[in-house]
Amino acid sequence: MQAVVLVGGEGTRLRPLTYGTPKPMVPLFGVPFLERTLSRLREAGVAEVILAAGYLPKAIEDHLGDGSRLGLRITYVVEDEPLGTAGAIKNVAEHIRGPFFVLNGDILTSLDLRAMLALHNRKRGLGVLHLIRVEDPSAFGCVVHDEQGRISRFVEKPPKGQEPCDEVNAGTYLLEPSILDAIPAGQKVSIERDTFPKLLADGAALYAYTTADYWLDVGRPEQYQQAHRDVLDGHLALGRLADATAGSGQFWSAGDAGIPKGVRAPAYIGDGVEIDPSALVGPYAIVGDGTKIGPRARVRDTVLWDHVIIESDSHIEGAILASGVRVGSGAHIATGTVIGHDAIIESSARIPADARITAGEPAQT
């Protein structure tokens, strides 16, 4: 079985994190997000993955190589210009040999891919789309279907109040190779806005696979933080994937013996982390490898990547700090703030809520 993973987006909504790290390489508990997706594919019996990349592809290839470490064969196809979600699939057509999965590269889900394949084999249509029910469908692709699951409409990001249903495209498809004939070559094409609507208008048989799985698009800061909270709260088991690929970081739950001084569960503490015993780290702190937290500092509900330095008496709540960020003593960072690679926060600085800070540039709020 083959899978195409779409990883060519620029990750604009995760800036400034994605200036230095492409969205699929953004870490989830110390492991690049894409690596977790690939492990899931392999467990579902997928042997070959084609990565449709474009933005910062080298960072992806340097980390994953030929895929053998993950038990997969990875082929990279890099777009010079973004070709859109369908254009990217058309662009890898020469590698496709049979029915194939397509995954948006920013989805965290417990979806059972084998069950989806079984449904496709029963329905024998052009493809199956994984759907999920959400409260605000306007941020997604709305998919209308009948009782047999046959899809009649696909409406990408309808205006609020005009959503035709609450079931949305969850970003995993299982498609027959003949779908490639419906996508024009060498141009930018959106599968959501062009290909699916056109196929449905022509009467193509696409089927819905609606599940109640854990599901999150981590492409926005709030959702990225939510993913960490959900794992710490046990709503999504990273399970074997965590053990297999999370390095030597440690999850701490309330009541665990040996919880380090200064740490409040639930929390995740990476390898080589130094926390002063007088600091207060957690609950809901994710501390990446090699990060240092100084005396009396407070860090809660926050994701710190690797090699971050938090000096004494600083307070951080509800923020995301990328690799190498340094926070001077006594600084306060308010909730919703996202700080990019290697940025320096001056001592005693007051960073307001929802700020975006990039190294060497003035803060944006």
List residues binding Mg ion (CB under 5 A): 106, 217, 219
Q: Is residue 9 involved in binding ligand GDD (CB under 6 A)?
A: yes
Q: Which does 249 bind (CB under 5 to 8 A by kind): ligand GDD, Mg ion, none?
A: none
Q: Is residue 169 involved in binding ligand GDD (CB under 6 A)?
A: yes
Coil, strand or helix at 5: strand
Specify the residue, 58 or 240, whose C-beta has the smaller distance to ligand GDD: 58
302 C-beta neighbours (distance < 10 Å), count:
25
Specify the residue, 128 or 297, whose C-beta has the smaller distance to ligand GDD: 128
Q: How many helices (H) and strands (E) does the chain have?
A: 8, 30
Contact set for ligand GDD, span 63-82 (CB under 6 A): 79, 82
Specify the residue, 8 or 149, whose C-beta has the smaller distance to ligand GDD: 8
Burial 210-239 (b: 16+ CB within 10 A, else e): bbeebbbbbbbbebbbebbeebbeeebebe
Shortest Cβ 216–Mg ion spacing (Å): 10
H helix or E strand, kind and range, residue 50: strand 48-53
- Written as six digits, the tokens of 359 are 């190294």
Q: Which does 221 bind (CB under 5 to 8 A by kind): Mg ion, ligand GDD, none?
A: none
- Written as six digits, the tokens of 322 are 């990328």
Q: Is residue 287 involved in binding ligand GDD (CB under 6 A)?
A: no
Shortest Cβ 140–Mg ion spacing (Å): 9
Q: Is residue 83 involved in binding ligand GDD (CB under 6 A)?
A: yes
- Written as six digits, the tokens of 240 are 């074997």
Stretch touching ligand GDD by CB under 6 A, among 100-108, 235-243, 285-293, 357-365: 100-108
Q: CA nearest 51: which of 101, 110, 11?
A: 101
Q: CA nearest 8: which of 49, 48, 38, 51?
A: 51
Q: Is residue 311 involved in binding ligand GDD (CB under 6 A)?
A: no
Q: Which does 116 bind (CB under 5 to 8 A by kind): ligand GDD, Mg ion, none?
A: none
Q: Which does 85 bind (CB under 5 to 8 A by kind): Mg ion, ligand GDD, none?
A: ligand GDD
Main-chain dihedrals φ then ψ at residue 264, nearest 5 degrees: -110, 125
Q: Is residue 141 involved in binding ligand GDD (CB under 6 A)?
A: yes
Residue 141, strand partner residues? 156
**Single residue of 104, 172, 337, 358 touching ligand GDD by CB under 6 A:** 104
Please name the residues in contact with 186: beta carbons below 8 A apart, sequence gap of 6 or more.
none
The greatest distance separating any two alpha carbons of the chain, rounded to the nearest whole angstrom, comes to 66
**Single residue of 1, 2, 3, 7 touching ligand GDD by CB under 6 A:** 7
Specify the residue, 9 or 16, whose C-beta has the smaller distance to ligand GDD: 9
Q: Is residue 105 involved in binding ligand GDD (CB under 6 A)?
A: yes
x/- mask, ligand GDD, residues 219-258, rule CB under 6 A, reads x---------------------------------------
- Written as six digits, the tokens of 116 are 């989806």
Coil, strand or helix at 299: strand
H helix or E strand, kind and range, residue 339: strand 338-339
Specify the residue, 92 or 279, whose C-beta has the smaller distance to ligand GDD: 92
Shortest Cβ 109–Mg ion spacing (Å): 12
Q: Is residue 84 involved in binding ligand GDD (CB under 6 A)?
A: yes
**Single residue of 56, 168, 204, 267 touching ligand GDD by CB under 6 A:** 168
202 C-beta neighbours (distance < 10 Å), count:
8
Alpha helices in 306-362 (DSSP H): none
Rounded Cα–Cα distance for residues 58 and 30 (Å): 19
- Written as six digits, the tokens of 131 are 């759907």
Site for ligand GDD, rule CB under 6 A? 6-9, 23, 52, 54, 79, 82-85, 88, 104-107, 140-141, 156, 168-169, 171, 192, 217, 219
